Each structure stands twice: as C-alpha cells, then as structure tokens.
C-alpha cells in the first residue's frame, strides 16, 4: 500500500537572521546576519555567537507563568507566526487530534543559570531575565512540547526529542509516523534552543568553537559558533505546496562526540532519504549542509556528499548566518530549504566563507552568488549529531 504523503503548510521562525520568515528570507538572500557577533558568554573575551536581537514580547498566559523563560519566549515568537494555521487545524480536526513534537538540547538551562547568579549575557530581547521567578520546569528537557501544547490549547500527543544536533530533524520523522498511524491529523513540529553559558563553555572545552565567524568547508575552518532560535511548522496529511517526501535516519554510534570519519552512517541517512522520497540524487537541486565548520564534521560531510552526488549539487552551510542552533538546527535549516520551494523566486541560501577550499576535501558546488532552484527539483537538508545520530530530510514541491 502506498504510504500517504505528509505536507508542511506553515512556517514560523526566529533566529539571528531576523524575527519572522520575511526578515529571515531577505537576510538569507543578502547573506547578512544582524545577530551574529560577540556576546558576553564563554569567559572574559566572550564568544562569537548568533543571538536573537528582536525583543521577545510574547509571554505565556498567566496560567503558564511558571514556564516563562527566554527559551519558551523564543518558542512563542515562532508559534505566533503559525497560530492562525494551527487554530484552523483545530477547527477542522478538533484539538485532541492536533499534537506537538519538538526538539531541543538546552531547554531553559539559561533560566537556571540566571537563578544561580550566572550572567546571562544577552544584549537585547531578553524577555524574562533578572527578577523573574525561576521554576525548575523551565529547564526540564522534556517540557518544551507540553508547554507549546498548553499555550496553543492543543490536546493531542505532545513530546520532546533531545538527540543533540539532530533533535528537531528527528522530530519530523516521529511526527510523520504519528500522522501515518492515524494518531494525529495535524502536528506542530520543530525545535527551539537558547544561548546559555553551559553550552558555550562546553563546546569551548571540546576545542570546537571559533573565536570569529564560522568558516565551513574552508581550509582555515576553526570551529562552530553557537546560536539560538526556534523554528516550527504545521504538518498534516492535507495536501499543500510542500511535501515532506523523504526521511533517512541512521545511528552509527562511532564516538560520543566525533563523527565516523568514513561517513558510513551519514551516507546511509542520505541514501535512505532519497529512497524514501522515491527520487534519485539527480533530482535534488539543493542541499542544506550540516557544515559545522569543525575539522572532522566538514571532512566527513564533504566525502559523503561526493559519494552520494558524484555529479555535484548546489549546496550551502548556513550556520555562519545563524550560529549552530543545536536542537533547533534541523528545523531551522529545513525551514531555509522550505523557503526555496514555498516562495516563488526565492534564491538559494548562500554559503558564507573565505573562499579558500580545503584541498584535502572533495570539491563541492557551494552557493556563493545569487542562484535559484531549477524548476522541478527537490531539496535536501542534512543533520548530524554527537553519538553518531544522522538524519536527512527531502522536500518536494
């Protein structure tokens, strides 16, 4: 029996590029990000990171005041952009048939740091900060989805996935299964993560962070920039303009933090996504790379891409524009891929780097100038995480 398609109908986003999809699409096209820069996290010199600059005015209703923290305000800012579509789904299916599936890796750890007296370090748009009442529920790793469900009045299944940098990408796989099993008729799917001292210092201790803007696929790459943001979609079986056509997952468990240098697990995920979508590599017109700008990740991904796409494919790594949003990265970067299909005339996201290719890596067709998706082509987004978790997603117009 043919598996029913699932569709991504509406997108809400907030990150270092901007506070809504219009601002983000414009900044992507320009290759400029107002929220990238130095923040007062990670020691005396601070860290180069992606910060949401827009004021986060949305606050939970009084009945959910104990959840009020920056992480949940980022989530609310993204949810507000798709709330009309969500409420329409509730009217159509009933609130008990609409679920929530989110990914995160930090939840509200930053709120706990504030409660312990650790400086927060944001320069704008903090939302709940000094003087706010801290409740442990703010930093519970599983609280994001139930909070979102309560804020929107949804009564369907609501749970949170935390698999490091594949968290929100894996949320799409789980959400699709709920739809295909008939357990939901629609879901809010995505991810959220906020900047916090623990994450910045943790990646610094791994010697994985760059003191300047990340430089993916360059011979001079020196590590990641951490970022924050939220991205959420409305997904259902109701036909729409963008199909989530293919999902590939694998777990190679090579190392707790380093990728398998052979890229076997990553390649399995890419090929599984293509097979699931029923398309060949030649049908893909653009790939959003995971491209963290660490030595090992970029080496692995470049080799995987050269094997899966031997004829080449337009590709870019967008983390220099947002920072690595960790648990929100999969949904954020799928959002960029979605914009290339959903918006007529949209340009492909640019690959921002110094242009000095690593001669030890296979050459990739990186999008450095204005380019558009060829008609009829599909798009792909890759996510790789600690512990060997790999996810690839394919969208078709």
Whole-number pLDDT of residue 83 = 97
Domain 243-396, what architecture? 3-Layer(aba) Sandwich (3.40)
Are 7-236 and 243-396 the same fold in CATH? yes
Whole-number pLDDT of residue 328 = 97
Whole-number pLDDT of residue 386 = 80
How far apart are alpha carbons 362 and 373 in whole angstroms? 23
pLDDT tens, 106-139?
Answer: 999 999 998 888 655 544 445 454 445 789 999 9
| Nearest of 313, 314, 318 to residue 328 by alpha carbon | 318
pLDDT tens, 196-243?
Answer: 999 999 998 888 899 999 999 999 999 999 999 999 999 999 999 999
pLDDT class of 313 with cuts at 50, 70, 90: very high
Average pLDDT over residues 21-39: 93
Whole-number pLDDT of residue 131 = 45
Tell me what the pLDDT averaged over the chain comes to: 92
Say if residue 207 is exposed, middle or buried (CB neighbours under 10 Å; 0-12, 13-18, 19+).
exposed
DSSP 375: T
Q: Is the pLDDT of residue 4 over 90?
A: no
pLDDT tens, 249-279?
Answer: 999 887 777 778 888 999 999 999 999 999 9
Question: Residue 358 belongs to what H/E stretch?
Answer: none
pLDDT tens, 188-203?
Answer: 999 999 999 999 999 9
Q: Is the pLDDT of residue 346 over 90?
A: no
pLDDT tens, 54-78?
Answer: 999 767 888 899 999 999 999 999 9
Domain 7-236, what architecture? 3-Layer(aba) Sandwich (3.40)
Q: Sign of the C-alpha dihedral, residues 209, 204, 46, 331?
A: positive
Whole-number pLDDT of residue 124 = 40
Q: Where are the domains of the chain?
A: 7-236, 243-396
Whole-number pLDDT of residue 207 = 86
Whole-number pLDDT of residue 132 = 58
| Nearest of 353, 345, 342, 287 to residue 319 by alpha carbon | 353
Whole-number pLDDT of residue 353 = 97
pLDDT class of 170 with cuts at 50, 70, 90: very high
Q: Is the pLDDT of residue 1 over 50?
A: no
How far apart are alpha carbons 389 and 309 in whole angstroms? 21
Q: Is the pLDDT of residue 6 over 60?
A: yes
Q: Which residues contact 295 (CB under 8 A, 6 or more apart)?
A: 221
Active-site residues: which are they? Answer: 165, 290, 324
Contact 97, 184 (CB under 8 A): yes
Whole-number pLDDT of residue 253 = 82
How far apart are alpha carbons 128 and 369 in whole angstroms? 40
Backbone angles phi, psi at 72, to 5 degrees: -75, -25
Question: Residue 193 belongs to what H/E stretch?
Answer: strand 186-193
Whole-number pLDDT of residue 215 = 97
Whole-number pLDDT of residue 153 = 97
């Amino acid at each position: 029996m043919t598996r029913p398609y699932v569709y991504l109908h509406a997108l809400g986003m907030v990150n270092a590029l901007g506070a809504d999809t219009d601002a983000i699409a414009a900044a992507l096209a320009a290759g400029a990000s107002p929220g990238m820069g130095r923040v007062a996290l990670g020691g005396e010199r601070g860290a180069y990171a992606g910060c949401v600059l827009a004021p986060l005015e949305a606050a939970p209703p009084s009945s959910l005041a104990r959840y009020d923290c920056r992480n949940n305000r980022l989530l609310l800012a993204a949810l507000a952009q798709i709330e009309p579509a969500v409420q329409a789904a509730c009217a159509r299916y009933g609130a008990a048939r609409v679920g929530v599936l989110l990914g995160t890796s930090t939840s509200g750890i930053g709120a706990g740091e504030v409660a312990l007296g650790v400086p927060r370090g944001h320069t704008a748009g903090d939302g709940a900060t000094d003087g706010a009442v801290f409740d442990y529920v703010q930093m519970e790793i599983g609280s994001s989805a139930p909070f979102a469900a309560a804020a929107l009045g949804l009564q369907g299944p609501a749970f949170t996935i935390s698999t490091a940098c594949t968290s929100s990408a894996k949320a799409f796989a789980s959400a699709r299964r709920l739809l295909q099993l008939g357990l939901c008729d629609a879901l809010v799917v995505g991810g959220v993560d906020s900047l916090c001292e623990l994450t910045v210092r943790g990646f610094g201790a791994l010697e994985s962070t760059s003191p300047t803007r990340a430089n993916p696929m360059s011979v001079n790459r020196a590590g990641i920039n951490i970022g924050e943001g939220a991205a959420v979609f409305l997904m259902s079986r109701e036909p729409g303009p963008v199909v989530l056509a293919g999902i590939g997952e694998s777990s190679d468990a090579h190392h707790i933090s380093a990728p398998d240098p052979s890229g076997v697990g990553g390649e399995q995920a890419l090929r599984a996504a293509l097979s699931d979508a029923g398309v060949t590599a030649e049908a893909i017109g653009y790939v959003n790379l995971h491209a963290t700008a660490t030595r090992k990740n970029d080496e692995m991904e470049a080799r995987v891409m050269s094997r899966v796409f031997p004829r080449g494919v337009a590709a870019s790594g967008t983390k220099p524009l947002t920072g690595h949003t960790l648990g929100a990265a999969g949904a954020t970067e799928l959002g960029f891929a979605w914009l290339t299909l959903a918006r007529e005339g949209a340009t492909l996201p640019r690959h921002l780097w110094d242009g000095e290719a690593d001669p030890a890596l296979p050459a990739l067709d990186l999008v450095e100038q204005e380019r558009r998706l060829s008609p009829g082509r599909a798009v792909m987004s890759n996510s790789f995480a600690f512990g060997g978790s790999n996810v690839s997603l394919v969208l078709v117009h």
